Amino acid sequence: MELKDIIEDIGKAFETFKAENDKRLKEIEKKGHTDPLLAEKVEKINADLTAMGDLKRQLENVEAAVARSQFPGGGGTEVNRVKAEHKAAFESWFRKGIEGNLKDLQIQASASSGDDTAGGFTVPEEMEAAIDRVLPKVSAMRRLATVINIGTDEYKRLVSKGGTTSGWTAEKGARAETDVSALAQIIINAKEIYAMPYATQTLLDDSRINIEQWIANEVANEFAEEEGAAFITGDGVSKPKGIASYTMAANSSYSWGEVGYIAGGHATLLNSADKLIDLVHALKAPYRNGAAWLMNDTTLGKIRVLKDGQGNYIWRPGLEAGVPETLLGKPVEIDDNVADIGAGTYPVFFANFKRAYLIVDRVGIRVLRDPYSAKPYVAFYTTKRVGGGIIMYESVKTLKIATS
């Protein structure tokens, strides 16, 4: 199916959904209940919209990957020559265990800055890129947050907690002293994530097997799923600290280091858009430009039926290529690591994630070849280092479901 076809199907399904759900609401208003068959029909269309939205995102990812593809020529420069030699040496070691001059070549190719006491070798650029391309397709936070590469295991940054004042003055006028903004030091440590795929020597001896694609297929989704979960729920111990793992406080009284929430409840969330509108306005105006919603599929299905005070549906499908579905005019990202609706949970986040959350990637994915521990298989202990955490607390808000 082509992207334009799924977009057309989404548009038709949304119109049908609105019509059938309006019938359901009128029956409830008139009779106090609705026909179970009509309710089932609405739920079926709702589920279809979710599935079609997922398919649209997948097709958009494919088209984006094709658009980004580059097919370099023969090269000929010294840098390209060294990188090609490094790639060939890595593949020889990967298949046969023959190290040769791989250690020197990976340094020359800028794949490594020197010896690594953890052992193993750094993968070539193309292999690392193949793995990295998968990560944002699986992890919503990678698509939403700021991502930077670092060369060490720790990233430090001073951020302003707000409070700097300013003023107007004439060219030669006196300038009153302004208040100094309080600064906070942010430290994000890159934690090690690993995967260990196995291969038979027979498979490795097969020259038709694309080693770059094989290792990417084996480890990329594992990395993406593990770190994607950590960016939402990680406790910060040996993994990134997830956005849902910080101390939550009522938005009227939250302070630096906490995430402000708007109190809601089951009935409030399911029958009214008011609390979601409150959540939008809990985020200061400068952060709303570029803000987005984050929730899981189940929660979005509940929200899809909500209307504003003028009777308009607050959810809209993305009916153009590259245009996301929106809630109250802001993009919606789906990640099933976000909590379901339930007593005491935080099922909806609204944030300027680019400013709120930082992901740091330690450059270099390493592979340690182990032909001994699981004979006749060869194990490839593959590691990368990644960290994450909130760096601007006032640019993220959440909705808390009431406990009673």
Let me know if domain 123-163+181-296+335-404 sits in CATH 3.30.360.10: no
Q: In this prediction, what percent of the chain has a pLDDT beyond 90?
A: 36
Tell me the average pLDDT across 141-156. Answer: 91
DSSP string, 118-185: T-SEEPPHHHHHHHHHHHHHH-HHHHHSEEEEESSSEEEEEEE-S--------TTS--PPPPPPPEEE
Q: Which amino acid appears at position 295 of this protein?
A: M
| Per-residue pLDDT at 166 | 60
pLDDT at position 388 = 95
pLDDT greater than 50 at residue 389: yes
Between the alpha carbon of residue 329 and those of residues 135, 161, 277, 281, the distances in Å are 27, 28, 11, 13
Strand 247-250 and strand 258-263: the pairing is parallel
Find the angle CA(382)-CA(383)-CA(384) to the nearest 5 degrees.
Answer: 140
Q: Which of 232, 291, 276, 281 is nearest to 252 (CA)?
A: 281
**Residue 359: is its pLDDT beyond 70?**
yes
The answer to whether residue 70 scores a pLDDT higher than 60 is: no
What is the separation of C-alpha 155 from the centre of its chain, rounded to a whole number of angstroms?
20
142 Cβ neighbours under 8 A, 6+ residues apart: 135, 136, 224, 227, 228, 231, 359
- Please compute the mean of the pLDDT values over residues 245-273 and round it to a whole number: 85
Q: How many CB atoms lie within 10 A of CB 314?
A: 17
> Which residue would you say has higher pLDDT here, 188 or 101?
188
- The top-scoring range by mean pLDDT among 200-204, 208-212, 373-377, 383-387 is 383-387
Nearest to 125 by CA among 385, 363, 387: 363
Q: CA–CA separation, 384 vs 164, rounded Å?
A: 39
> pLDDT band at residue 72, thresholds of 50, 70 and 90?
very low
Question: What global pTM score does this model have?
Answer: 0.81
Q: Which residues contact 176 (CB under 8 A, 6 or more apart)?
A: 167
- Name the nearest CA neighbour of 224 among 77, 26, 386: 386
